[in-house]
Structure 1
Protein backbone atom coordinates (compact mmCIF):
# COMPACT_ATOMS: atom_id res chain seq x y z
CA UNK A 1 0.00 0.00 0.00
CA UNK A 2 1.07 3.59 -0.51
CA UNK A 3 1.79 5.26 2.83
CA UNK A 4 2.93 8.65 1.55
CA UNK A 5 4.89 10.14 -1.34
CA UNK A 6 7.55 7.58 -2.37
CA UNK A 7 6.88 5.40 0.67
CA UNK A 8 5.09 2.07 0.44
CA UNK A 9 4.21 -0.55 3.03
CA UNK A 10 3.79 -4.31 2.88
CA UNK A 11 2.64 -6.69 5.59
CA UNK A 12 4.43 -10.02 6.02
CA UNK A 13 2.11 -12.11 8.22
CA UNK A 14 2.46 -10.33 11.59
CA UNK A 15 5.10 -7.69 10.75
CA UNK A 16 5.32 -4.75 8.35
CA UNK A 17 8.14 -3.69 6.06
CA UNK A 18 8.50 -0.45 4.10
CA UNK A 19 10.01 0.74 0.83
CA UNK A 20 11.42 4.25 0.51
CA UNK A 21 11.71 5.22 -3.16
CA UNK A 22 12.73 8.24 -5.19
CA UNK A 23 16.28 8.35 -3.86
CA UNK A 24 19.34 9.54 -5.71
CA UNK A 25 19.31 10.45 -9.41
CA UNK A 26 16.99 7.62 -10.45
CA UNK A 27 13.29 7.59 -9.63
CA UNK A 28 13.49 3.86 -8.94
CA UNK A 29 16.39 4.10 -6.46
CA UNK A 30 15.01 2.75 -3.20
CA UNK A 31 15.80 1.17 0.18
CA UNK A 32 14.06 -1.57 2.12
CA UNK A 33 13.15 -1.05 5.77
CA UNK A 34 13.12 -4.39 7.65
CA UNK A 35 12.62 -7.77 5.99
CA UNK A 36 9.61 -9.29 7.72
CA UNK A 37 9.02 -12.74 9.12
CA UNK A 38 10.95 -15.87 8.12
CA UNK A 39 10.19 -17.33 4.67
CA UNK A 40 8.75 -14.06 3.36
CA UNK A 41 11.52 -13.39 0.80
CA UNK A 42 9.61 -14.83 -2.22
CA UNK A 43 6.60 -12.68 -1.41
CA UNK A 44 8.72 -9.55 -1.00
CA UNK A 45 10.53 -10.17 -4.30
CA UNK A 46 7.19 -10.60 -6.05
CA UNK A 47 5.65 -7.57 -4.34
CA UNK A 48 8.38 -5.14 -5.39
CA UNK A 49 8.32 -6.00 -9.11
CA UNK A 50 5.49 -3.60 -10.07
CA UNK A 51 7.26 -0.81 -8.20
CA UNK A 52 10.92 -1.31 -9.03
CA UNK A 53 10.94 -4.01 -11.73
CA UNK A 54 14.29 -5.81 -11.40
CA UNK A 55 16.18 -2.95 -9.73
CA UNK A 56 17.69 -3.95 -6.41
CA UNK A 57 17.64 -1.56 -3.44
CA UNK A 58 20.55 0.66 -2.48
CA UNK A 59 20.53 -0.92 0.97
CA UNK A 60 18.48 -2.66 3.64
CA UNK A 61 17.88 -0.75 6.86
CA UNK A 62 16.84 -2.64 9.98
CA UNK A 63 14.96 -0.98 12.83
CA UNK A 64 16.14 -3.83 15.06
CA UNK A 65 17.03 -7.52 14.84
CA UNK A 66 14.00 -9.36 16.23
CA UNK A 67 13.06 -12.46 14.25
CA UNK A 68 9.98 -10.89 12.64
CA UNK A 69 12.05 -8.02 11.23
CA UNK A 70 15.03 -9.98 9.88
CA UNK A 71 13.26 -13.11 8.67
CA UNK A 72 14.03 -12.68 4.96
CA UNK A 73 17.32 -10.84 5.43
CA UNK A 74 19.82 -13.53 4.49
CA UNK A 75 17.88 -14.62 1.41
CA UNK A 76 17.45 -11.06 0.17
CA UNK A 77 21.11 -10.20 0.72
CA UNK A 78 22.10 -13.34 -1.16
CA UNK A 79 19.82 -12.19 -3.99
CA UNK A 80 20.89 -8.52 -4.07
CA UNK A 81 24.34 -8.30 -2.45
CA UNK A 82 23.57 -4.94 -0.82
CA UNK A 83 24.76 -3.48 2.50
CA UNK A 84 22.69 -3.82 5.65
CA UNK A 85 22.43 -0.86 8.02
CA UNK A 86 21.61 -1.44 11.68
CA UNK A 87 22.37 0.40 14.90
CA UNK A 88 25.75 -0.57 16.30
CA UNK A 89 24.17 -1.86 19.53
CA UNK A 90 22.04 -4.35 17.56
CA UNK A 91 24.90 -5.94 15.62
CA UNK A 92 25.77 -8.57 18.28
CA UNK A 93 22.16 -9.80 18.20
CA UNK A 94 22.09 -9.94 14.42
CA UNK A 95 25.31 -11.94 14.41
CA UNK A 96 24.11 -14.33 17.15
CA UNK A 97 26.83 -13.18 19.52
CA UNK A 98 24.11 -12.17 21.98
CA UNK A 99 20.61 -13.48 22.57
CA UNK A 100 17.69 -11.21 23.32
CA UNK A 101 16.22 -11.47 26.85
CA UNK A 102 13.66 -14.18 27.44
CA UNK A 103 10.07 -13.10 26.74
CA UNK A 104 7.63 -12.17 29.49
CA UNK A 105 4.38 -13.83 28.35
CA UNK A 106 2.37 -12.77 31.39
CA UNK A 107 3.34 -9.10 31.46
CA UNK A 108 0.28 -8.33 29.35
CA UNK A 109 -2.33 -11.00 28.60
CA UNK A 110 -3.12 -12.18 25.10
CA UNK A 111 -2.63 -15.20 22.89
CA UNK A 112 0.34 -13.65 21.08
CA UNK A 113 1.92 -13.05 24.47
CA UNK A 114 1.30 -16.63 25.59
CA UNK A 115 2.96 -17.91 22.40
CA UNK A 116 6.02 -15.69 22.81
CA UNK A 117 8.22 -18.34 24.52
CA UNK A 118 8.16 -20.17 21.18
CA UNK A 119 9.36 -17.14 19.17
CA UNK A 120 13.05 -17.14 18.18
CA UNK A 121 15.15 -14.66 20.15
CA UNK A 122 18.61 -15.30 18.78
CA UNK A 123 20.06 -13.85 15.59
CA UNK A 124 20.82 -15.47 12.25
CA UNK A 125 24.63 -15.55 12.47
CA UNK A 126 24.67 -12.87 9.81
CA UNK A 127 28.13 -11.79 8.62
CA UNK A 128 27.57 -10.07 5.30
CA UNK A 129 28.05 -6.35 4.58
CA UNK A 130 27.00 -4.68 7.86
CA UNK A 131 27.11 -0.90 8.13
CA UNK A 132 26.71 0.35 11.72
CA UNK A 133 24.35 3.24 12.34
CA UNK A 134 26.11 5.41 14.89
CA UNK A 135 26.16 9.02 13.69
CA UNK A 136 24.09 11.57 11.79
CA UNK A 137 25.78 10.71 8.50
CA UNK A 138 25.22 6.97 8.86
CA UNK A 139 22.50 6.96 6.18
CA UNK A 140 23.91 9.28 3.50
CA UNK A 141 21.42 8.28 0.77
CA UNK A 142 18.33 9.20 2.83
CA UNK A 143 18.33 12.93 2.14
CA UNK A 144 15.56 14.71 4.04
CA UNK A 145 15.30 11.87 6.56
CA UNK A 146 16.83 11.42 9.98
CA UNK A 147 17.16 8.38 12.17
CA UNK A 148 16.25 8.45 15.86
CA UNK A 149 17.60 6.09 18.50
CA UNK A 150 14.47 4.71 20.20
CA UNK A 151 15.63 2.04 22.69
CA UNK A 152 13.55 0.12 25.19
CA UNK A 153 12.07 -2.55 22.95
CA UNK A 154 15.69 -3.37 22.11
CA UNK A 155 18.88 -1.52 23.00
CA UNK A 156 19.62 -0.43 19.44
CA UNK A 157 16.15 0.15 18.05
CA UNK A 158 15.84 3.04 15.58
CA UNK A 159 13.00 4.92 13.92
CA UNK A 160 13.06 7.07 10.77
CA UNK A 161 11.51 10.51 10.27
CA UNK A 162 10.99 12.58 7.12
CA UNK A 163 10.67 16.22 8.03
CA UNK A 164 8.93 17.60 4.92
CA UNK A 165 5.68 15.75 5.60
CA UNK A 166 6.38 14.63 9.19
CA UNK A 167 6.27 10.96 8.25
CA UNK A 168 7.41 8.62 11.01
CA UNK A 169 8.48 5.03 10.38
CA UNK A 170 8.50 3.94 14.00
CA UNK A 171 9.40 0.27 13.76
CA UNK A 172 8.29 -1.27 17.05
CA UNK A 173 9.03 1.81 19.19
CA UNK A 174 5.26 2.24 19.17
CA UNK A 175 2.73 0.33 17.10
CA UNK A 176 -0.83 0.77 15.83
CA UNK A 177 -2.29 -2.57 16.90
CA UNK A 178 -2.39 -4.42 20.21
CA UNK A 179 0.19 -7.02 19.25
CA UNK A 180 -0.33 -9.08 22.41
CA UNK A 181 -3.88 -9.95 21.29
CA UNK A 182 -4.41 -12.49 18.52
CA UNK A 183 -7.86 -11.05 17.83
CA UNK A 184 -6.44 -7.56 17.39
CA UNK A 185 -3.69 -8.88 15.11
CA UNK A 186 -6.17 -10.79 12.95
CA UNK A 187 -8.59 -7.87 12.66
CA UNK A 188 -5.88 -5.18 12.57
CA UNK A 189 -7.92 -3.04 14.95
CA UNK A 190 -6.31 0.40 14.73
CA UNK A 191 -5.12 1.95 17.99
CA UNK A 192 -1.76 3.14 19.26
CA UNK A 193 0.13 0.95 21.72
CA UNK A 194 3.59 0.67 23.11
CA UNK A 195 5.94 -1.99 21.72
CA UNK A 196 4.94 -5.65 22.17
CA UNK A 197 5.11 -6.12 25.93
CA UNK A 198 6.34 -9.71 25.80
CA UNK A 199 9.54 -8.66 23.99
CA UNK A 200 10.15 -5.28 25.68
CA UNK A 201 12.51 -5.73 28.64
CA UNK A 202 12.92 -2.02 29.45
CA UNK A 203 9.44 -0.52 29.53
CA UNK A 204 10.40 2.82 31.10
CA UNK A 205 13.06 3.44 28.45
CA UNK A 206 10.57 2.48 25.74
CA UNK A 207 8.16 5.15 26.97
CA UNK A 208 10.91 7.75 27.02
CA UNK A 209 11.49 6.83 23.38
CA UNK A 210 7.77 7.30 22.69
CA UNK A 211 7.98 10.76 24.28
CA UNK A 212 10.90 11.51 21.96
CA UNK A 213 8.78 10.50 18.96
CA UNK A 214 5.82 12.50 20.27
CA UNK A 215 7.99 15.62 20.24
CA UNK A 216 8.38 15.23 16.45
CA UNK A 217 4.61 15.76 16.09
CA UNK A 218 4.25 13.13 13.32
CA UNK A 219 1.44 13.63 10.81
CA UNK A 220 1.86 10.22 9.14
CA UNK A 221 2.69 7.08 11.13
CA UNK A 222 3.63 3.64 9.84
CA UNK A 223 4.86 1.06 12.33
CA UNK A 224 6.25 -2.47 12.50
CA UNK A 225 2.83 -3.86 13.38
CA UNK A 226 -0.59 -2.49 12.48
CA UNK A 227 -1.96 -0.09 9.90
CA UNK A 228 -0.92 3.45 8.93
CA UNK A 229 -2.39 6.40 10.80
CA UNK A 230 -2.76 10.04 9.82
CA UNK A 231 -3.33 13.45 11.36
CA UNK A 232 -4.86 14.08 14.74
CA UNK A 233 -5.53 10.40 15.46
CA UNK A 234 -1.76 10.02 15.90
CA UNK A 235 -1.44 12.88 18.37
CA UNK A 236 -4.54 11.81 20.29
CA UNK A 237 -3.43 8.17 20.36
CA UNK A 238 0.08 8.92 21.64
CA UNK A 239 -1.25 11.36 24.22
CA UNK A 240 -3.69 8.75 25.50
CA UNK A 241 -1.00 6.07 25.62
CA UNK A 242 1.38 8.26 27.60
CA UNK A 243 -1.41 9.38 29.92
CA UNK A 244 -2.39 5.80 30.66
CA UNK A 245 1.22 4.87 31.33
CA UNK A 246 1.80 7.79 33.67
CA UNK A 247 -1.28 6.90 35.73
CA UNK A 248 -0.64 3.15 35.60
CA UNK A 249 -3.97 2.56 33.89
CA UNK A 250 -2.88 0.74 30.73
CA UNK A 251 -5.64 -1.70 29.87
CA UNK A 252 -4.65 -5.37 29.85
CA UNK A 253 -5.63 -7.27 26.73
CA UNK A 254 -7.14 -10.67 26.13
Structure 2
Protein backbone atom coordinates (compact mmCIF):
# COMPACT_ATOMS: atom_id res chain seq x y z
CA UNK A 1 0.00 0.00 0.00
CA UNK A 2 1.59 3.29 -1.08
CA UNK A 3 1.58 6.60 0.78
CA UNK A 4 -1.25 8.07 -1.30
CA UNK A 5 -3.49 5.09 -0.58
CA UNK A 6 -2.75 5.30 3.16
CA UNK A 7 -3.53 9.03 3.16
CA UNK A 8 -6.86 8.37 1.45
CA UNK A 9 -7.74 5.75 4.05
CA UNK A 10 -6.90 8.19 6.84
CA UNK A 11 -9.02 10.86 5.14
CA UNK A 12 -12.01 8.49 5.01
CA UNK A 13 -11.40 7.51 8.63
CA UNK A 14 -11.51 11.16 9.73
CA UNK A 15 -14.74 11.64 7.82
CA UNK A 16 -16.25 8.70 9.63
CA UNK A 17 -15.26 10.31 12.95
CA UNK A 18 -13.89 7.13 14.54
CA UNK A 19 -12.31 9.08 17.35
CA UNK A 20 -12.49 6.70 20.29
CA UNK A 21 -13.11 3.16 21.40
CA UNK A 22 -16.64 2.03 22.16
CA UNK A 23 -17.25 -0.05 25.26
CA UNK A 24 -18.62 -3.51 24.44
CA UNK A 25 -18.71 -4.82 28.00
CA UNK A 26 -17.43 -3.26 31.23
CA UNK A 27 -13.97 -4.70 30.51
CA UNK A 28 -13.80 -4.79 26.70
CA UNK A 29 -13.64 -1.88 24.28
CA UNK A 30 -13.38 -1.86 20.49
CA UNK A 31 -11.77 0.84 18.36
CA UNK A 32 -13.14 0.44 14.84
CA UNK A 33 -10.59 1.68 12.30
CA UNK A 34 -11.30 1.97 8.60
CA UNK A 35 -10.06 -1.57 7.84
CA UNK A 36 -10.16 -3.60 11.05
CA UNK A 37 -10.91 -3.54 14.77
CA UNK A 38 -8.48 -2.90 17.60
CA UNK A 39 -9.67 -4.47 20.86
CA UNK A 40 -8.82 -3.58 24.45
CA UNK A 41 -9.38 -6.21 27.15
CA UNK A 42 -9.49 -4.90 30.70
CA UNK A 43 -11.60 -2.53 32.77
CA UNK A 44 -10.38 1.09 32.81
CA UNK A 45 -9.05 0.75 36.38
CA UNK A 46 -7.41 -2.65 35.82
CA UNK A 47 -4.48 -4.10 33.91
CA UNK A 48 -5.26 -4.53 30.24
CA UNK A 49 -4.13 -6.13 26.98
CA UNK A 50 -4.39 -4.91 23.39
CA UNK A 51 -5.54 -7.30 20.64
CA UNK A 52 -4.47 -6.43 17.06
CA UNK A 53 -3.12 -3.10 15.85
CA UNK A 54 -4.66 -2.19 12.46
CA UNK A 55 -2.47 -0.88 9.63
CA UNK A 56 0.82 1.00 9.54
CA UNK A 57 0.82 4.63 10.71
CA UNK A 58 -2.20 4.14 12.95
CA UNK A 59 -0.25 4.13 16.20
CA UNK A 60 -1.11 7.72 17.16
CA UNK A 61 -4.83 7.11 16.71
CA UNK A 62 -4.66 3.88 18.66
CA UNK A 63 -2.66 5.56 21.43
CA UNK A 64 -5.26 8.31 21.64
CA UNK A 65 -8.13 5.80 21.88
CA UNK A 66 -6.29 3.80 24.53
CA UNK A 67 -5.40 6.89 26.56
CA UNK A 68 -9.03 7.96 26.63
CA UNK A 69 -9.88 4.65 28.29
CA UNK A 70 -6.79 3.91 30.39
CA UNK A 71 -4.98 7.20 30.76
CA UNK A 72 -1.20 6.80 30.61
CA UNK A 73 -1.28 3.18 31.84
CA UNK A 74 0.24 0.95 29.12
CA UNK A 75 -1.07 -2.52 28.35
CA UNK A 76 0.70 -5.54 29.72
CA UNK A 77 1.07 -6.98 26.21
CA UNK A 78 -0.11 -6.93 22.61
CA UNK A 79 -1.69 -10.11 21.25
CA UNK A 80 -2.05 -10.67 17.51
CA UNK A 81 -4.77 -12.91 16.10
CA UNK A 82 -2.58 -13.24 13.00
CA UNK A 83 0.00 -11.35 10.98
CA UNK A 84 -1.90 -9.74 8.11
CA UNK A 85 -1.07 -6.10 7.44
CA UNK A 86 -4.39 -4.80 8.80
CA UNK A 87 -3.88 -6.51 12.17
CA UNK A 88 -0.14 -6.17 12.74
CA UNK A 89 0.59 -2.85 11.04
CA UNK A 90 1.13 -0.61 14.07
CA UNK A 91 2.35 -3.34 16.44
CA UNK A 92 6.03 -2.43 16.30
CA UNK A 93 5.53 1.28 16.97
CA UNK A 94 3.11 0.60 19.82
CA UNK A 95 5.29 -2.06 21.43
CA UNK A 96 8.30 0.23 21.30
CA UNK A 97 6.31 3.14 22.70
CA UNK A 98 4.88 1.12 25.59
CA UNK A 99 7.90 -1.20 26.01
CA UNK A 100 5.67 -4.29 26.05
CA UNK A 101 5.93 -7.73 24.38
CA UNK A 102 3.93 -8.89 21.37
CA UNK A 103 2.50 -12.43 21.32
CA UNK A 104 1.54 -14.55 18.32
CA UNK A 105 0.90 -18.23 17.57
CA UNK A 106 4.00 -20.21 16.61
CA UNK A 107 2.62 -20.91 13.12
CA UNK A 108 2.50 -17.16 12.43
CA UNK A 109 6.00 -16.39 13.70
CA UNK A 110 7.71 -16.55 10.28
CA UNK A 111 5.27 -13.98 8.90
CA UNK A 112 6.19 -11.44 11.57
CA UNK A 113 9.96 -12.01 11.71
CA UNK A 114 10.89 -11.39 8.09
CA UNK A 115 11.05 -15.03 6.97
CA UNK A 116 7.89 -15.72 5.00
CA UNK A 117 5.36 -13.72 2.96
CA UNK A 118 1.64 -14.39 2.75
CA UNK A 119 0.13 -15.24 -0.65
CA UNK A 120 -1.07 -12.15 -2.54
CA UNK A 121 -4.68 -11.10 -2.37
CA UNK A 122 -7.05 -12.95 -4.68
CA UNK A 123 -9.21 -10.55 -6.73
CA UNK A 124 -11.13 -13.44 -8.33
CA UNK A 125 -13.20 -14.16 -5.19
CA UNK A 126 -15.70 -11.39 -5.98
CA UNK A 127 -17.93 -9.71 -3.45
CA UNK A 128 -16.89 -6.09 -3.87
CA UNK A 129 -14.21 -3.48 -4.42
CA UNK A 130 -12.01 -4.61 -1.53
CA UNK A 131 -11.46 -7.93 -3.30
CA UNK A 132 -10.41 -6.14 -6.48
CA UNK A 133 -7.98 -3.98 -4.52
CA UNK A 134 -6.57 -6.89 -2.54
CA UNK A 135 -3.68 -7.48 -4.94
CA UNK A 136 -2.33 -4.11 -3.75
CA UNK A 137 -2.43 -5.05 -0.07
CA UNK A 138 0.94 -5.71 1.60
CA UNK A 139 1.88 -9.35 2.07
CA UNK A 140 5.58 -9.10 2.89
CA UNK A 141 6.57 -10.23 6.37
CA UNK A 142 6.77 -7.79 9.24
CA UNK A 143 10.02 -7.46 11.17
CA UNK A 144 9.17 -7.76 14.83
CA UNK A 145 12.32 -9.57 15.83
CA UNK A 146 13.22 -8.82 19.44
CA UNK A 147 9.65 -7.81 20.26
CA UNK A 148 7.71 -10.98 19.43
CA UNK A 149 7.07 -13.97 21.70
CA UNK A 150 5.35 -17.25 20.80
CA UNK A 151 2.17 -18.03 22.72
CA UNK A 152 2.19 -21.09 25.00
CA UNK A 153 1.01 -24.33 23.41
CA UNK A 154 -1.63 -24.96 26.08
CA UNK A 155 -4.07 -22.25 24.97
CA UNK A 156 -3.37 -19.92 27.88
CA UNK A 157 -2.92 -16.22 27.28
CA UNK A 158 -0.44 -14.00 29.11
CA UNK A 159 -2.05 -11.58 31.59
CA UNK A 160 -5.53 -12.92 30.74
CA UNK A 161 -6.16 -15.73 33.20
CA UNK A 162 -9.88 -16.00 32.41
CA UNK A 163 -9.34 -16.22 28.65
CA UNK A 164 -8.01 -18.95 26.39
CA UNK A 165 -7.04 -18.89 22.76
CA UNK A 166 -8.58 -21.22 20.19
CA UNK A 167 -6.58 -22.30 17.16
CA UNK A 168 -8.67 -21.23 14.16
CA UNK A 169 -6.48 -21.76 11.08
CA UNK A 170 -7.63 -21.35 7.51
CA UNK A 171 -7.52 -17.62 7.00
CA UNK A 172 -3.84 -17.96 7.93
CA UNK A 173 -1.94 -21.00 9.22
CA UNK A 174 -1.58 -19.74 12.79
CA UNK A 175 -4.74 -17.71 13.20
CA UNK A 176 -6.23 -17.67 16.71
CA UNK A 177 -9.46 -16.52 18.32
CA UNK A 178 -9.87 -15.60 21.99
CA UNK A 179 -12.63 -16.99 24.19
CA UNK A 180 -13.84 -16.38 27.73
CA UNK A 181 -15.96 -19.21 29.07
CA UNK A 182 -17.44 -17.16 31.92
CA UNK A 183 -19.57 -14.99 29.66
CA UNK A 184 -18.94 -16.85 26.38
CA UNK A 185 -17.39 -13.82 24.75
CA UNK A 186 -15.55 -14.56 21.50
CA UNK A 187 -12.91 -12.33 19.94
CA UNK A 188 -12.91 -13.93 16.51
CA UNK A 189 -10.13 -12.18 14.61
CA UNK A 190 -10.78 -12.98 10.95
CA UNK A 191 -12.16 -16.49 11.49
CA UNK A 192 -15.61 -14.94 11.02
CA UNK A 193 -16.79 -11.41 10.24
CA UNK A 194 -19.95 -9.46 11.00
CA UNK A 195 -19.75 -7.37 7.86
CA UNK A 196 -19.06 -8.46 4.32
CA UNK A 197 -15.28 -8.00 4.34
CA UNK A 198 -14.92 -7.92 0.55
CA UNK A 199 -17.19 -4.89 0.15
CA UNK A 200 -16.38 -1.19 0.55
CA UNK A 201 -20.10 -0.51 1.06
CA UNK A 202 -19.98 -2.67 4.17
CA UNK A 203 -17.22 -0.45 5.57
CA UNK A 204 -19.32 2.66 5.13
CA UNK A 205 -22.76 1.20 5.84
CA UNK A 206 -22.25 -1.80 8.15
CA UNK A 207 -25.13 -4.23 8.48
CA UNK A 208 -24.79 -6.95 11.08
CA UNK A 209 -24.68 -10.48 9.72
CA UNK A 210 -22.28 -13.34 10.33
CA UNK A 211 -19.96 -13.95 7.37
CA UNK A 212 -16.96 -16.14 6.75
CA UNK A 213 -13.36 -14.89 6.78
CA UNK A 214 -12.17 -12.29 4.26
CA UNK A 215 -12.12 -14.40 1.12
CA UNK A 216 -9.36 -12.58 -0.73
CA UNK A 217 -6.78 -13.50 1.94
CA UNK A 218 -8.05 -16.90 3.13
CA UNK A 219 -5.42 -19.56 2.42
CA UNK A 220 -7.07 -22.88 3.29
CA UNK A 221 -10.84 -23.18 2.99
CA UNK A 222 -11.04 -26.65 4.49
CA UNK A 223 -9.28 -25.46 7.64
CA UNK A 224 -11.41 -22.31 7.65
CA UNK A 225 -14.57 -24.42 7.62
CA UNK A 226 -13.40 -26.54 10.54
CA UNK A 227 -12.49 -23.40 12.46
CA UNK A 228 -15.98 -21.96 12.05
CA UNK A 229 -17.50 -25.25 13.19
CA UNK A 230 -15.24 -25.17 16.24
CA UNK A 231 -16.37 -21.63 17.10
CA UNK A 232 -20.05 -22.51 16.63
CA UNK A 233 -19.62 -25.40 19.08
CA UNK A 234 -18.55 -22.88 21.74
CA UNK A 235 -22.05 -21.33 21.62
CA UNK A 236 -20.73 -17.79 22.09
CA UNK A 237 -23.04 -15.17 23.53
CA UNK A 238 -21.12 -12.36 21.83
CA UNK A 239 -18.76 -12.06 18.89
CA UNK A 240 -16.24 -9.25 18.59
CA UNK A 241 -14.81 -9.68 15.08
CA UNK A 242 -11.75 -8.32 13.34
CA UNK A 243 -14.06 -6.84 10.71
CA UNK A 244 -17.50 -5.57 11.58
CA UNK A 245 -19.51 -4.48 14.60
CA UNK A 246 -19.73 -6.63 17.75
CA UNK A 247 -22.79 -8.84 17.60
CA UNK A 248 -24.69 -10.78 20.25
CA UNK A 249 -27.96 -12.58 20.87
CA UNK A 250 -30.07 -15.21 19.23
CA UNK A 251 -29.74 -13.89 15.67
CA UNK A 252 -25.96 -14.03 15.92
CA UNK A 253 -26.02 -17.57 17.28
CA UNK A 254 -28.41 -18.75 14.58
CA UNK A 255 -26.36 -17.17 11.79
CA UNK A 256 -23.10 -18.56 13.18
CA UNK A 257 -24.53 -22.07 13.32
CA UNK A 258 -25.95 -21.71 9.80
CA UNK A 259 -22.55 -20.56 8.56
CA UNK A 260 -20.94 -23.61 10.18
CA UNK A 261 -23.53 -25.93 8.63
CA UNK A 262 -23.49 -24.33 5.18
CA UNK A 263 -19.93 -23.00 5.01
CA UNK A 264 -19.21 -24.22 1.48
CA UNK A 265 -22.35 -22.57 0.10
CA UNK A 266 -22.11 -19.36 2.11
CA UNK A 267 -18.42 -18.58 2.47
CA UNK A 268 -16.31 -20.31 -0.18
CA UNK A 269 -16.14 -18.29 -3.41
CA UNK A 270 -17.28 -20.13 -6.51
CA UNK A 271 -14.39 -18.59 -8.41
CA UNK A 272 -11.13 -18.42 -6.54
CA UNK A 273 -7.46 -18.66 -7.37
CA UNK A 274 -6.21 -20.45 -4.25
What is the TM-score when the length of structure 2 is the normalising length? 0.86
Show the counterpart of 1:135: 153
2:223 pairs with 1:227: no
Residue aligning to 1:244: 262
Secondary structure (helix, strand or coil) at the match of 1:124 reads coil
Q: Aligned-pair distance for 1:242?
A: 2.8
User: How big is each residue's C-alpha offset from its partner over 1:203-230, in whole Å with a ceiling of 9 and x where there is no partner?
Assistant: 1110100000001100011000000101
TM-score with structure 1 setting the length: 0.93
Equivalent pair of 1:14/1:185 in contact (CA under 8 Å):
yes
| Cα drift, residue 249 of structure 1 | 5.3
Matches within 5 A, 1:105-120: 105-120=123-138
Unaligned runs of 5+ in 1: none
2:199 aligned partner? 181
Pair 1:214 & 2:235 matched = no
1:165 is the counterpart of 2:180 = no
Which residue pairs with 1:150 in the alignment? 168
Report the alpha carbon displacement of residue 106 of structure 1 after superposing the two structures with TM.
0.9
1:138 Cα shift? Answer: 4.5
Structure 2 match to 1:11: 32
Q: What's the counterpart of residue 42 of structure 2?
A: 21
**1: CA distance, partners of 2:218 / 2:233:** 22
Measured after TM superposition, the shift of residue 252 of structure 1 is: 6.9
SS of the residue aligned with 1:9? strand
CA distance in 2: counterparts of 1:30 and 1:250, whole angstroms = 34
Distance 1:91 1:76 in 2: 18
* SS of equivalent residue, structure 2 residue 224: helix
1:102 aligns with 2:120: yes
Alpha-carbon distance in structure 2 between the residues aligned to 1:109 and 1:227: 19
- Give the structure 1 partner of residue 18 of structure 2: none
How far apart in 2 are the matches of 1:16 and 1:225? Answer: 6
Tell whether 2:90 aligns with 1:72.
yes
| Residue 74 (structure 2) aligned to one of 56, 63, 68 | 56
- The separation in 1 between residues aligned to 2:155 and 2:187, in whole angstroms, is 18
Helix, strand or coil at the partner of 2:230: helix
Q: 3-state SS of the aligned residue for 1:152?
A: coil
Q: How many residues align?
A: 249
Residue 128 of structure 1: how far off its partner (Å): 2.5
Question: Post-superposition, which runs of at least 4 consecutive aligned residues in structure 1 deviate over 3 A?
Answer: 249-253
